[in-house]
């Protein structure tokens, strides 16, 4: 019945929030009899050794994946073929704007919040020729809608902005929104479980999927793990990665227990959590992480008294 997936970027070790989302993606996939795939999104921000570290961390938690490991960097021809198809339909145009240009245009009165303002959409051939001498072009989708609606299992119906978003960056690399749509569709992934910070990206991706005649996947955007200031977890928070926590003598199974407890699930094992899993009962609020308390709670008694 299709597949779910976990798709980290190999930019460093996975923190507790990433690991929690990975467990949720596994639970959603397994509870619906789907395969569970691992994809490495390595088109950007690749750190040497990070992929191997992340795979080791996921396996340490007891997560098992089906099929072969997927890497975006090995799938470039598929992305460019899709762009070619869209170009042939007149749905792609070159954009010469810098981030500064877009930010300034987007701050103008009557500009749609967060949307590309269409600066390069209708340039003449002569104008494009002049701009091409100044900077390389990105390729944008010539969107025929301004918004699109998706259904999310936790958030319900959600309508978001769809602008002329980037398909190929000006360095020639496929953009995130293009790559994930192709990867999910061509690998039979029909369930997308990820952090709710990406909910606003879903309308763009769903719209692109429909343009390419792909089925829109079932979306599940789950609450993030945040620090005590309400910000996304980062290195500055300390002891938020599996490696940092296990350095204190904590076993990965104990970390799994903490993550399952944060979801209101039995903490004895992943299998026990799967048997009790019901999306209706999942927390809808962010999980506030206090690393020092977690480490203190999990540390072996002998270590606490040092």
Digit-coded pLDDT (tens) for 66-99: 999 999 999 999 999 999 999 999 999 999 998 8
Q: Domain check: are 63 and 83 in the same one?
A: no
139 is a domain residue: yes
231 is a domain residue: yes
Q: Domain check: are 130 and 163 in the same one?
A: yes
What pLDDT is recorded for position 77?
97
Residue 45 has pLDDT above 70, yes or no: yes
Relative to beta strand 92-95, strand 138-141 is antiparallel
Residues of the binding site for Zn(2+)? 95, 97, 116, 120
Task: Count the domains in the chain.
Answer: 2
Residues of the binding site for ATP? 235
Q: 243 vs 7, 15, 38, 138, 249, CA distance in Å?
A: 20, 9, 20, 38, 10
Residue 129 has pLDDT above 60, yes or no: yes
Residues of the binding site for L-glutamate? 5-9, 41, 176, 194
216 is a domain residue: no
What pLDDT is recorded for position 218?
98
Q: Confidence band (pLDDT; 50, 70, 90) for 112?
A: low
188 is a domain residue: no
Q: What value does the mean pLDDT take over residues 40-69? A: 94
Q: Domain check: are 121 and 27 in the same one?
A: no
Q: Domain check: are 54 and 91 in the same one?
A: no
292 is a domain residue: yes
Q: What value does the mean pLDDT take over residues 162-189? A: 97
pTM: 0.92
Q: Domain check: are 10 and 43 in the same one?
A: yes
**Burial zone of 109 (CB within 10 Å; 0-12 exposed, 13-18 middle, 19+ buried):** exposed
Q: Domain check: are 171 and 88 in the same one?
A: yes
* CATH number of the domain to which 110 belongs: 3.90.800.10
Q: Domain check: are 242 and 150 in the same one?
A: no
194 is a domain residue: no
Domain span at 91: 75-179+203-210
Q: Domain check: are 49 and 86 in the same one?
A: no
Handedness of CA 255, 258, 261, 263 (dihedral sign): negative
189 is a domain residue: no
């Amino acid at each position: 019945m299709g597949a779910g997936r976990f798709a980290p970027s190999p930019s460093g070790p996975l923190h507790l929030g990433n690991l929690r989302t990975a467990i949720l993606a596994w639970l959603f996939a397994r509870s619906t009899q789907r395969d569970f795939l691992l994809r490495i999104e390595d088109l950007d921000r690749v750190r040497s050794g990070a992929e191997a570290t992340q795979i080791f961390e996921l396996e340490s938690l007891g997560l098992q994946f089906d099929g072969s490991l997927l890497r975006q960097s090995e799938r470039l021809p598929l992305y460019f073929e899709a762009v070619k198809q869209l170009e042939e339909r007149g749905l792609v145009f070159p954009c010469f704007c810098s981030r500064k240009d877009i930010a300034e245009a987007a701050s103008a009165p009557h500009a749609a919040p967060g949307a590309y303002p269409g600066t390069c959409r209708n340039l003449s051939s002569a104008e494009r020729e002049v701009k091409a001498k100044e900077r390389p072009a990105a390729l944008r989708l010539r969107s025929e809608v301004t918004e699109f609606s998706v259904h999310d299992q936790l958030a319900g119906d959600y309508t978001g902005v769809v602008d002329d978003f980037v398909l190929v960056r000006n360095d020639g690399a496929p953009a995130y929104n293009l790559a994930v749509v192709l990867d999910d569709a061509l690998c039979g992934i029909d369930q997308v479980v990820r952090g709710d910070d990406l909910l606003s990206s879903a309308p763009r991706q769903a719209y692109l999927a429909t343009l390419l005649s792909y089925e829109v996947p079932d979306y599940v955007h789950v609450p993030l793990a945040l620090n005590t200031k309400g910000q996304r977890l980062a290195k500055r928070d300390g002891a938020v990665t599996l490696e940092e926590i296990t350095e204190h003598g904590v076993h990965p199974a104990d970390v799994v227990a903490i993550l399952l407890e944060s979801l209101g699930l039995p903490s004895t094992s992943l299998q026990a959590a799967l048997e009790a899993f019901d999306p209706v009962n999942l927390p809808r609020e962010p999980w506030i992480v206090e690393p020092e308390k977690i480490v203190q709670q999990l540390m072996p008694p002998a270590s606490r008294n040092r």
